[in-house]
Amino acid sequence: MLWFLAVLFSVCVRVVDINTSTNTMADNCAFVFIKPHANTPATQALVVEQLNANHITILSEGELTGEQIDSGMLIDQHYYAIASKATLLKPDQLPVPADLFETSFGLKWADALASGKVYNALDACKHLGIDADTLDSYWAKCKKAGKLVKFGGGFYCGLVEVEGKEPLYVFNGFFMSMRSKFVAPTASIHYYVVEFSSSRLNWKDFRANVLGPTDPTTAPVDSIRGRILHNWEALGLRSVPNTGDNGVHASASPFEGLAERMNWLKVAPESDSFGMKLLDRGISADTIRAWTLDPQVKGRGVFDSFEDVDCDEVLAKAVEMNA
């Protein structure tokens, strides 16, 4: 009898240990990077300190230069919804609503294409012989003049008029200025692949309280973005952070984290912890890759469907979406 009780006690202890381990097991994995304007040794030290303080484990880290980002079109893929119209696709590949184009500009979409006066932002810079910031200034002018139309989320066309040049219909002209910050010769990002347990920190709090809101002026003072804002000079930044240059980026969901690792680090779903969980639930690698382009499913973007949701719930949503 004593032998039986000893064995039973040993089994119970093992079950408690396993359950305790499971409760703190890291199930959320994100991709975090310091943006070029804030990528200093002091900022890197701050980010590591904040991650450690919030029980977030750094699995790996590294540096990517502006040249690597440019040649690999990494920032273009990162901002795919915007960049696809600005750099990755040609105008005849875009889903332009012909009726809205004609109403806005008084010209049939087919005739505009045939005229050769329609360009994405990247090709517009080359054709006009101007840089990203100059195009951005002309984009602002066409917006102010009411010669800009929105076709959808992150999908704009403007009639850009440069003195001495014939006017061009340009898609997402604002993106080139954003892109230039990442691909300049002196630019670089410092990235971290991190994991944390949803039982200790859910994804919503990870973004709202550890990272801080997009606008750093509204971020908690002890969040990463909040601390960068309030200590920008001591950290070696050249200017005050703002909504665009807010110090750091972090994935909005476990799926977005996978998509970002696939893009920035060229990780395959088959070799990624979250990717393998999706594969185990019958979601093919081809489907995963298609989802990284943020298509609409049931009238909603894939990334929006998963935003601020922890690993297990994302997996359940993904199975439903796949069906």
Q: What is the 3-state secondary structure (H, E, C) of 59-103?
A: EEEEEEEHHHHHHCCHHHHHCHHHHHHHHHCCHHHCCCCHHHHHH
Question: Starting at the edge strand that comes first in sequence, how are the strands of the sheet with 248-250 ordered?
Answer: 57-65, 188-196, 28-34, 248-250
Sequence-separated (6 or more) residues with CB below 8 Å from residue 194: 29, 30, 31, 32, 51, 56, 57, 58, 59
What pLDDT is stored for residue 2 in this prediction?
42
What pLDDT is stored for residue 26 in this prediction?
85
DSSP letter string over 110-148? HHHHHHT-EEEHHHHHHHHT--HHHHHHHHHHHHHTT-E
**How many contiguous H segments (helices) and E segments (strands) does the chain have?**
17, 10
Nearest to 176 by CA among 85, 295, 246: 85
The pair of three-digit structure tokens given for residue 35, joined into one six-digit string = 């943006």
What pLDDT is stored for residue 3 in this prediction?
45
Nearest to 212 by CA among 36, 28, 32: 32
What pLDDT is stored for residue 13 in this prediction?
38
**Amino acid identity of 295?**
P
Question: How far, rounded to the nearest angstrom, does the alpha carbon of residue 195 sit from its chain's CA centroid?
Answer: 17
What pLDDT is stored for residue 300 in this prediction?
85
Q: CA-to-CA distance for 4 and 10, rounded, in angstroms?
A: 10
Q: Tell me the three state secondary structure of residue 243.
A: coil
What pLDDT is stored for residue 301 in this prediction?
87
Each of the 323 residues of the chain gets a pLDDT tens digit; together they read: 444 444 343 434 333 333 333 346 889 999 999 999 999 999 999 999 999 999 999 999 999 999 999 999 999 999 998 999 999 999 999 999 999 999 999 999 999 999 999 999 999 999 999 999 999 999 999 999 999 999 987 899 999 999 999 999 999 999 999 999 999 999 999 999 999 999 999 999 999 999 999 999 999 999 999 999 999 999 999 999 999 999 999 999 999 999 999 999 999 999 999 999 999 999 999 999 999 999 888 878 899 999 999 999 999 999 999 99
